[in-house]
Structure 1
Amino acid sequence: MTPQGRDDDADNDPAARRLAGGFLIGRPFGIPVYISPSWLLVAALITYTFGPYVESQLPGIGQLKWGVSFLYAAFLLLSVFVHEVSHSIVAQRLGLEVKQITLWLLGGVSTLDEPDTPRKEFLVAAAGPAASIALGLLAFAGYVGLPAGGVAHLLASQLAFVNLVLAAFNLLPGLPLDGGAILRSAVWKVAGRRSAGTVAAGWAGRVLACLVLLAALSRSAVFGNGEPSLIDLVWGGLIAMFLWTGASQVLKVQQVRSRLPRAQARTLVRPALSVPGDLPLGEAIRRAREAGLRALVVTDSRGKPTGIVNEQAVVATPEQRWPWMSVSAVTKSIDDAMILTADLAGEDLVRAMQREPSSEYLVVEPGSQDIIGVIATADVERAVATR
């Protein structure tokens, strides 16, 4: 499965945040690895569906078939782990930070820094399928070398098959699969823009989702009795939903990112009035209204900004109390992380705001540090969300 870029994707992308839950099972190569509780669902489903096959291949195994089936599910989890850790090791070698790996219902996700070149995108994406192919060939060697008719021989044959299928499936050219990331790197290389590759690979992922669902519905009609089986529908539906949701989310994130250039500190800033902290709130608001200003910045006796009057706190305060309370009562203190320069825009502005989440930030001129005004997080969000 394609790694989740951080852009800071791990922190901002909703999918990445959803996948972050689970139980920490280790830190190989310094990377936290989590297993999602949803894996228990897929383990149960694999155990249930694989048990009858074990019994058909190993007559007389009896109820031990369920133990062999669960062991098969555990080896599948190990295969997914090797696939994901391969993404992560290559990413680390290329200088990308890897935040975590999460193993979940339909595979795994490596959360890492977004590759900044098509070459890095390709190498990180290709590492997973390459590892799956290597595991498949290793398991096939075991299948050839082990005596037939035993549990090990059966598991080796199935693990060879499933790892090679996993590699082939992940190489399909559509996000959120590894093949989608490879397609994105190719389009990025040709077009010179990562966004073009994301859109192409995202739509390809949606097409793949439709094809998977169609295949699940038609498989029995082509190869069976004409009626789709429950297992085909469950697996086909889950995989199609995963592909469609993942591709749609990638396209949605790209759509938001394409609007990020609208977020410019200088154009979104609210001109502010500087006031002392002991000034009555009512008087401060009166002065701001007379001057046509929409924000209040509290300064000390030397004119240094010390806080921003919180708009929500003012709104929540009954107007009749304004003359009897000082501005400092509704002021939020500011630190260096809450002071932004007016030349910030797009992703640079968003990243600067993420360092210290707040409802308002002080905006100053770069170099001189002269106060320009206040930028509200809500104004940035509206600028990015507006079509």
Structure 2
Amino acid sequence: MSEQSPRQEFSGLRMGKPFGIPVYVSWTWFVVAVFITLMFGPRFQQMLPELDSVASYVVAFAFAVLLYVSVLLHELAHSVLAKWYGLPVRRITLYLLGGVSEIEKEPPTPGKEFMVAAAGPALSLGLAGLGLLGDVYVINSGGIPEVLIWQLWVANFIVGVFNLLPGLPLDGGRMLRAGVWKVAGNSGTGTIVAAWGGRVLAVLLVAVPLATSLSGGQELDFTDLVWPLVLAWFIWAGASQSLRVAKIRARIPQLNARALARRAVPVTAETPLSEALRQAVEKRAGAIVVVDHDGRPLAIVNEAAVQATPEHRRPWVNVASLAKSLEPTMVLDADLTGEPLIEAMREAPGSEYLLVERGGGVYGVLATADVNRVFTGV
């Protein structure tokens, strides 16, 4: 299972960097590895009676590792194709229910979205096909290799087919999103349709086995619903997150650097904070910019640092001690809007940015908090 993921913090075991993409393993993988080992150990002992109990569990653990290698290859298919299309991939993470490719940009066209999404299931089904051929024509004399290959091709077939189901956050949901995007001409509409498809899938995953059990007159065994419930929760949560992201992205076109900018009052570095604040109030400015004696901007006074300075100390603190020097990436074009504005801020995360006119003149200061309010509605 994989999806486009937003930037997020993560701590886990780094396994390597194939194709220049960092690969991490979450601690939750080890929980699943233990579960698979315990579940498949007795099965392998039945299939391979020559093995003792310890050896059967060793084979089961090998199966768990090989299964996650297959998941890694599935995610690499997404990520390598995304990189080939010029989309930055931050990392791949293997975790409780599979893997996630953290692709930091949305594909620019529905066609590329479809291809990136389809790459993972295509690889899983390809591995299943190769495993089946190997099981039938190459390694068919029994023993541990044949049993492992048989289990792996079946597992990859299930992973490939399951991921093709048409609902986010599954790959099939992204493919559905691409199709709706192509027809409707709007990626947000595609996301909403595919996310609701995911919610429907989540309900069906629980409702179908429940209805089957009840209609057959069988006594309901809730242990049979454990995995459907886990998968349904995962899909429902991912679909709901996609709906939230769609609502946020719908507001991106409303972003306008000029409209969100605060008027800035220029002061020199030695100006006391109290005097700078007095000038800001007098000129109805919402930001303070430190300039040199020729009026060139040098730094932006940090709003949080100002608020943290007690009022009785403000006459004795100069603005330079509370200012952050202007890096080139912190100076933005005042005409930026929408996605280009978000990208510019993402490249240089900060609390304030200096907005300048094309001729170099200072227009004002853009506070990240003001941009966030566009999305939170605060």
Q: TM-score, normalised by structure 2?
A: 0.91
Corresponding residue for 1:153?
Answer: 146
1:294-352 Cα deviation digits (max 9, x unpaired): 22212111110112222222222222233333232322222222222221122222222
**What does 1:279-294 correspond to in 2, within 5 Å?**
279-294=271-286
Is the Cα–Cα contact under 8 Å of residues 217 and 228 in structure 1 kept in the other structure?
no
Name which of 125, 129, 140 aligns with 1:137: 129
With over 3 angstroms needed to count, the CA separation of the structure-2 counterparts of 1:283 and 1:27, relative to structure 1, is closer
Corresponding residue for 2:21?
Answer: 31
1:350-380 Cα deviation digits (max 9, x unpaired): 2222232222222222x12222222211111
Is the Cα–Cα contact under 8 Å of residues 21 and 36 in structure 1 kept in the other structure?
yes
**Whole-angstrom distance in 2 between the partners of 1:197 and 1:88:** 21
Q: 1:148, CA displacement in angstroms?
A: 5.8
Is the Cα–Cα contact under 8 Å of residues 263 and 384 in structure 1 kept in the other structure?
no
User: Is 1:254 matched with 2:250?
Assistant: no
Name which of 55, 61, 68 aligns with 1:70: 61
**Whole-angstrom distance in 1 between the partners of 2:12 and 2:254:** 37
Q: 1:180, CA displacement in angstroms?
A: 0.7
Name which of 226, 230, 235 aligns with 1:238: 230
With over 3 angstroms needed to count, the CA separation of the structure-2 counterparts of 1:324 and 1:70, relative to structure 1, is closer
**What does 1:142-291 correspond to in 2, within 5 Å?**
142-145=134-137, 146-147=139-140, 149-218=142-211, 220-221=213-214, 225-230=218-223, 232-291=224-283
With over 3 angstroms needed to count, the CA separation of the structure-2 counterparts of 1:330 and 1:348, relative to structure 1, is same
1:182-202 Cα deviation digits (max 9, x unpaired): 101111111111111111111
User: Is 1:58 matched with 2:58?
Assistant: no
With over 3 angstroms needed to count, the CA separation of the structure-2 counterparts of 1:94 and 1:362, relative to structure 1, is closer
**Whole-angstrom distance in 2 between the partners of 1:311 and 1:78:** 48
Is the Cα–Cα contact under 8 Å of residues 23 and 93 in structure 2 kept in the other structure?
yes
Aligned length: 375
1:25-46 Cα deviation digits (max 9, x unpaired): 2222222222222111111111
With over 3 angstroms needed to count, the CA separation of the structure-2 counterparts of 1:37 and 1:173, relative to structure 1, is same
Corresponding residue for 2:39?
Answer: 49
SS at match of 1:4: coil
Corresponding residue for 1:82?
Answer: 73
Name which of 82, 104, 114 aligns with 1:91: 82
Q: 1:177, CA displacement in angstroms?
A: 0.8
Is the Cα–Cα contact under 8 Å of residues 257 and 335 in structure 2 kept in the other structure?
yes
Corresponding residue for 1:100?
Answer: 91
Corresponding residue for 2:304?
Answer: 312
Q: 1:288, CA displacement in angstroms?
A: 2.2
Is the Cα–Cα contact under 8 Å of residues 3 and 87 in structure 1 kept in the other structure?
no
Q: 1:92, CA displacement in angstroms?
A: 3.2
Which has the larger displacement, 234-243 or 94-103? 94-103
Is the Cα–Cα contact under 8 Å of residues 268 and 380 in structure 1 kept in the other structure?
yes
Corresponding residue for 2:314?
Answer: 322
**Whole-angstrom distance in 1 between the partners of 2:96 and 2:301:** 46
Is the Cα–Cα contact under 8 Å of residues 216 and 228 in structure 1 kept in the other structure?
no
With over 3 angstroms needed to count, the CA separation of the structure-2 counterparts of 1:223 and 1:80, relative to structure 1, is farther
RMSD, matched Cα: 2.2
Unaligned runs of 5+ residues in structure 1 are 12-16
**Whole-angstrom distance in 1 between the partners of 2:20 and 2:285:** 51
SS at match of 1:247: helix
Q: 1:118, CA displacement in angstroms?
A: 1.2
With over 3 angstroms needed to count, the CA separation of the structure-2 counterparts of 1:79 and 1:372, relative to structure 1, is same
Which has the larger displacement, 147-156 or 277-286? 147-156
Amino acid of the residue matched to residue 370 of structure 2?
D
Amino acid of the residue matched to residue 323 of structure 2?
T
With over 3 angstroms needed to count, the CA separation of the structure-2 counterparts of 1:98 and 1:280, relative to structure 1, is closer
Q: 1:225, CA displacement in angstroms?
A: 4.3
**Whole-angstrom distance in 2 between the partners of 1:179 and 1:324:** 62
**Whole-angstrom distance in 2 between the partners of 1:357 and 1:293:** 23
1:199-222 Cα deviation digits (max 9, x unpaired): 111111111111112245456556
**Whole-angstrom distance in 2 between the partners of 1:156 and 1:298:** 67
**Whole-angstrom distance in 1 between the partners of 2:316 and 2:56:** 78
Corresponding residue for 2:110?
Answer: 118
**Whole-angstrom distance in 1 between the partners of 2:216 and 2:126:** 31
Instruction: Give aligned-pair identity as a percent.
Output: 48
**Whole-angstrom distance in 1 between the partners of 2:4 and 2:373:** 26
Q: TM-score, normalised by structure 1?
A: 0.89
